[in-house]
Amino acid sequence: MQSKARWTLSILSILFLGWEATATDAHADAEPVTVASRIQQRQEYRAALQYLKTNRITQYRRLKTALQTYPLYPYLEYQEIVQGIKRRSEADILAFVNQYQDTPLAERLGQRWLTHLAKRGRWGDFINYYEAAKQPVTLGRKLACHHAFALYREGRLAEAMAHAKVLWLVAYSQPDECDALFKFWRAKGGITAELAWQRLAMSIRANQRQLAAYLLRFINEKDRAAATNFLALRDMPARIKQTRRFQAQGPRYRESILYGVTQFAWTDPEAALGVLRTYGARHDFDPEPLESAYARVGQYLAQKTDNPILSLDLPVNLHTHPELAEEIIRQALRHLNWEGLLAGINLLPPRWQAEPRWQYWKARARYSSEHLNEQQEAREILLALSQERTFYGFLAADLLDTAYNYRDEMSAVTQEQLVSLELSPGMQRALELFALKERGRARQEWNFTTAEFRARELEVAAALALQRGWYKVAIQAMIDAGTWNYLHLRFPLAWQESFSAYAARADIPLSWSLAIARQESAFMPDAKSPSGALGLMQILPTTATMIARSMKIKYRNRANLIIPEFSIKLGSHYLGSLFHRYDNNRILASAAYNTGPGHVDHWLAIKLPVDVWIEVIPITETRTYVQNILMYSSIYSRRLGESMPLIYPHERAFFSATSAAPG
């Protein structure tokens, strides 16, 4: 289980300085230590870092000497070099990188050294070291900006301009380190009218409004009106109805018109369709983007209207736009139009038709047909599906009244394999950092150590991580291995005591609260979503304040949310409030946990069979979320020794008495 070095030095540099280009790890022969001695080492390690930080060098060196056999000794050396990097020579950096190239610290120190060289303006040295890296792209955007600027300063103008273009054409803000590069590039005429428009369009489509507003300064006078109107459509899509604003001809206006129409369609698809037809008659659109715009409008028409003709009567080839065909199928489902559903499925590409989702609905539509051959075909499809551990496989099993096929297997990891992996230097470092709650660094060590593991090695790693309570990496290891049947590794009973206690207090099923946490964070305590939700239960700080107030407990700040016990406590309470709000219905409560009760209350206006209701949830993320929660709940009920159906009888009864197969 050898890890490949990520930071590779120039062989000439190593030979010149007299080192052998072979990595040696001072801790390769590390032996197991007692719990007491390891606890003492951790205390001394923390103290050593504090002494170093406060420049108490005598005390630091004393502890450093005592910690030479401690797995995290390389981190002391790394921190010592970084803290005094201004005084370090090239020889010091190369010595460390050579000794510890089988750790992520080598690349990290390489990054620090490159940053130091850039600050000193040592551009020639910077280029030599940067281009010696096997994968410079992994070094980050800041150093990529420095590298392009270094090329310019060293007279490699064509290369510098090529790199600048790549760094420019992104839909997000680049770091400040790119400012000097873009300034020179612009002065050389690099930011053309076309490139300025391309990045503006990319940023608007990516909802990067602040960046888009900044980029307006790079737009030339000729395109300024089109660009201003384009940006305005991001905040006020209805402005697309003001056709006089977009009457000018040209590719810039055509692009902004199609963007505006598709944005407007989200709120008023019928009006958007009329506007698109008006513009279509006045502008010379390229056929492909125009058809894509019609397809997007058609998706919203199918989702938000009851008239199937509107979506079908569009200048769109449904065979080349299967996303629209899927929404037309769901529109048919909302009306329990089984013939329309089957016609829609036939419009899908063969690969899509073969997916469990559409196989299930094909069988569901024919299950109670008057024709025996269709009934038989439906039963054969359902029987095949019921052998799978999928949401639709379990729905099929329910229709056939057969047992679920969990396809659950136990891994055959031996104690010898666990001990062998645990004693490897990389794994010792990863586990020590995890024990010290340095989660970010722990994940880096884990990822570095397991990067080239095969499936069997990942299985051992997952078992070891599970043993240590490091649930997220155990789950990820099984994903990386493509090993799906070891449910004890993929669905751990994490923090079971806390989940059990708070589930009982909130009067919710334990299997459900575990399923929510598994879906939300995969049991990663410091998980953070793009929207700012934090912790095991992925709670927004504003929501946490509301929950804590209702519980009459203290919530100091967002740091509380990455404490597992606190997150479980708040999350379980909030789940309980949703569970009881919706009459103990996990389906509705799960949807509300994901997207908010307002949406769910609105969707309840239509009464449908439970499987249909879930399938026609208009938000794709929420639909997938609910399906996953039900599956994960079923798996956890099995793991807890319970025997619970995918959908509880009272949940099925709530939706509609027509939950049986269609007649």
List, by residue number, the catalytic residues.
520
What tokens were used for 169? 């054409």
Q: Centre a 10 Å sphere on the Cβ of residue 511 and count the other Cβ atoms it contains.
A: 22
- Three-state DSSP at 528 gives strand
- The answer to whether the beta carbons of residues 572 and 588 sit under 8 Å apart is no
User: Rounded distance, CA 663 to CA 280, Å?
Assistant: 43
- 539 phi and psi angles, rounded to 5 deg: -105, 135
User: Rounded distance, CA 525 to CA 538, Å?
Assistant: 9
Q: How many residues does the chain have?
A: 663
User: Rounded distance, CA 463 to CA 447, Å?
Assistant: 16
Instruction: List, in order, residues 6 or more apart from 122 with CB less than 8 Å away.
Output: none
Q: How many CA atoms lie within 13 A of 594 on its CB side?
A: 25
- The answer to whether the beta carbons of residues 386 and 602 sit under 8 Å apart is no
User: Rounded distance, CA 58 to CA 64, Å?
Assistant: 10
User: Rounded distance, CA 148 to CA 178, Å?
Assistant: 9
Residue with tokens 């599956």: 631
User: Rounded distance, CA 91 to CA 110, Å?
Assistant: 13
407: left (phi over 0), alpha (psi -120 to 50) or beta: left
Instruction: List, in order, residues 6 or more apart from 298 with CB less than 8 Å away.
Output: 310, 311, 314, 316, 321, 324, 327, 328
What does the DSSP assignment read for 95-112? HHHHHTTTSHHHHHHHHH
User: Rounded distance, CA 461 to CA 453, Å?
Assistant: 9
Q: 373 burial class (0-12, 13-18, 19+ CB within 10 angstroms)? A: exposed
Instruction: List, in order, residues 6 or more apart from 38 with CB less than 8 Å away.
Output: none
